[in-house]
Amino acid sequence: MKKIAVISGASSGIGLSAAAMFYNNGYVVYSLSRAKPEDNRILHIPTDVSNAQSVKDAVEAVITSEGRIDVLVNNAGFGISGPVELTDLSDAKSIFDVNFFGTFLCIKYALPYMRAQGYGHIVCVSSSAAVLPVPYQSFYSCTKSAINAFVLSLANEVRPFGIKVSAVMPGDVKTGFTSNRKKSVSDNENYRAHEQRAINRMEQDEQNGMSPEKVARRIFKAATKKRPRVIYAVGFSYRLFAVLQKILPAGFVNYIEGKIYG
């Protein structure tokens, strides 16, 4: 009997690579996303992860067709950039609605079925920005920090039911995420020059970053390992930075990161 993987935001980028990875390893794979994946092997359920009823209906559709969910990968998300002072409240709420509350909704509606079946793996795509917040990406960094805290708490809640939970933190990845980021370009001369340098550096790093397939391999490992870690960093340099962030003074680490993006 084939196992069932449900992946939010699997229409492109990391999500699509993860969907292909699971499919190639014998899974039936569903994408919960607004756009249809280019890979026709992936079953698509049109879903707005920021809408509770849409997510509930999508999860129930999978259960109706398959009877269970073995793996849930929460990948749907987007980015915004710009100074905190000049960010619209609606944009700040919107990124939390998708990145964080979208993750929460997918888990909320999948958990009853996983709990009833006595097993399941949940993997949430976080970011190195969760532990190394990036200037001019404050709200994106906050959503990913929230996901890490959520995963750490959730893992203890659902462990008695045989459900395993992990967060995977990739660093810079070369995908369409860069071009899809919503930019709040500042016309304020107090921010303009510094903001532009920081965003240019960030986008350059992303376009020279790791492949989405590398992240997909880590997601698959976290989802299929008997005793997965709760938090994974992807890429040697990002694993190193995550360790240094724990042992060096926070102010020093933050200062160095500010210089990198300055």
Give CA–CA dist 196/194, Å, rounded. Answer: 6
Say whether 183 is catalytic.
no
Which of 8, 11, 12, 127 is catalytic? The answer is 11
Say whether 144 is catalytic.
yes
Which of 27, 127, 136, 144 is catalytic? The answer is 144
Which of 50, 81, 126, 127 is catalytic? The answer is 126
Say whether 140 is catalytic.
yes
Which of 27, 30, 113, 140 is catalytic? The answer is 140
Name the DSSP letter for residue 37: P
Say whether 211 is catalytic.
no
Number of Cβ within a 10 Å radius of residue 146: 18
Burial class (CB in 10 A: 0-12, 13-18, 19+), 167: buried
Rounded-to-10 torsion of CA 224, 56, 63, 95: -30
Q: At what angle do helices 13-24 and 212-224 cross, to 10 degrees?
A: 50
Active-site residue list: 11, 126, 140, 144
